[in-house]
A and B are shown apart, each in its own frame.
Chain A
Amino acid sequence: MKIKITDDCITLEENTETFALLEKPVFPHYHQNVTNKPFVSSYYEAGETIWAHCQAGVELLADFCHNDPYFGCYAMLFSRLYPLLLSSSQAKNVVSYGPPADCGAYKVFQNFMTFLQEGNALTALSRSSFSFTTLAEQSCHAFLYCLDVHPAQAAVCDALKKVRQGGLFLLYTLQEATPAWLIPLCENGETDHFGSCTVYAFTMDETLYEYACANGSENVILSRAEEVIKRAGDLQNLVQAMLAGTALPEETYKVAALILQQTEEILLSIYDYLEDDALPICANHLKEAILNYYAGISGGFDLTSYREKLSKSSEVFFYAVEREFQ
Chain B
Amino acid sequence: MKKYKMCVIPAFPLENVQLLKDRVIFPYACFRAFGESLRLVTKSTGDYPYLSYLEGAQLVTLPENEPHMESAVHYITEHREEIDLLFLFGARGEYMELARTYKSLRPDGIIYLKLDANIDWVNALPFSCKPFSGFLQNCDIISCEARRLQSLLYKKWQRPVDYIPNGVYYPLYPEAEDVRFEEKENIILTVGRLGDIQKNSLLLLYAYALAFPTFKEPWDLVMVGSVTPEFQADYGDFCKRFPPLAPHVHLTGNIADKQTLHQYYRRAKIFALPSRGEGGSPNVFSEAAIFGCTIVTTGVDAASDMTDNGRVGRISPDIEDFDGFAKELSSLCLDPDYLAHNFHEMRTYIKEFFDYERLARRLQMLIELQLLKRRQP
Binding site for B on A (CB under 8 A): 254, 257-258, 261-262, 264-265, 268, 271, 277-278, 280-281, 284, 288, 291-292, 294-296, 298-299, 301-302, 305-306
Of residues 137 through 181 on chain B, the ones whose CB sits less than 8 Å from some CB of chain A are: 150-151, 154-155, 158-163
From B161, B348, B362, B372, contact of A292 by CB (8 A)? B362
Q: In the complex, how many angstroms separate the beta carbon of A31 from the nearest chain B beta carbon?
A: 48
Docked-complex contact A264 and B358, CB < 8 angstroms? no
Q: In the complex, how many angstroms separate the beta carbon of B109 from the nearest chain A beta carbon?
A: 19
Docked-complex contact A258 and B369, CB < 8 angstroms? yes
Top 3 nearest A-B pairs by Cβ distance? A295-B361, A281-B154, A291-B362
Q: When chains A and B are docked, how far (Å) is the Cα of A271 from the Cα of B158?
A: 7
Residues from chain B with Cβ under 8 Å of A306 in the complex: 352
Q: In the complex, how many angstroms separate the beta carbon of A193 from the nearest chain B beta carbon?
A: 23
Q: When chains A and B are docked, how far (Å) is the Cα of A264 from the Cα of B366?
A: 14
Residues from chain A with Cβ under 8 Å of B216 in the complex: none
B373 within 8 A of A: yes
Residues from chain A with Cβ under 8 Å of B238 in the complex: none
Given contacts A277-B155, A278-B154, 9 further A-B contacts (CB under 8 A): A271-B158, A281-B154, A295-B362, A296-B352, A298-B361, A299-B358, A301-B358, A302-B352, A305-B352
From B154, B158, B352, B362, contact of A288 by CB (8 A)? B362
B318 within 8 A of A: no
Residues from chain B with Cβ under 8 Å of A296 in the complex: 352
Docked-complex contact B352 and A261, CB < 8 angstroms? no
Docked-complex contact A301 and B151, CB < 8 angstroms? no
- Interface size range on B against A: 20 to 34
Docked-complex contact B150 and A291, CB < 8 angstroms? no
Binding site for A on B (CB under 8 A): 150-151, 154-155, 158-163, 348-349, 352-353, 358, 361-362, 365-366, 368-369, 372-373
Docked-complex contact B158 and A301, CB < 8 angstroms? no
From B158, B162, B352, B365, contact of A284 by CB (8 A)? B162
CB-defined A-B contacts under 8 Å, sample of 20: A254-B372, A258-B372, A261-B160, A261-B373, A268-B154, A271-B158, A277-B155, A278-B151, A280-B158, A284-B150, A284-B160, A284-B162, A288-B162, A291-B362, A291-B365, A292-B362, A298-B361, A301-B358, A305-B349, A306-B352
Residues from chain A with Cβ under 8 Å of B368 in the complex: 254
Q: When chains A and B are docked, how far (Å) is the Cα of A268 from the Cα of B158?
A: 6
Q: In the complex, how many angstroms separate the beta carbon of B312 from the nearest chain A beta carbon?
A: 11
For residue A262, which residue of chain B has the nearest CB?
Answer: B373
Q: When chains A and B are docked, how far (Å) is the Cα of A261 from the Cα of B161?
A: 11
Docked-complex contact B348 and A305, CB < 8 angstroms? yes
Q: In the complex, how many angstroms separate the beta carbon of B133 from the nearest chain A beta carbon?
A: 14
Docked-complex contact A281 and B151, CB < 8 angstroms? yes
Residues from chain B with Cβ under 8 Å of A264 in the complex: 160
Known: A268-B159, A305-B352. A295 touches B365 (CB 8 A): yes
Q: In the complex, how many angstroms separate the beta carbon of B362 from the nearest chain A beta carbon?
A: 5
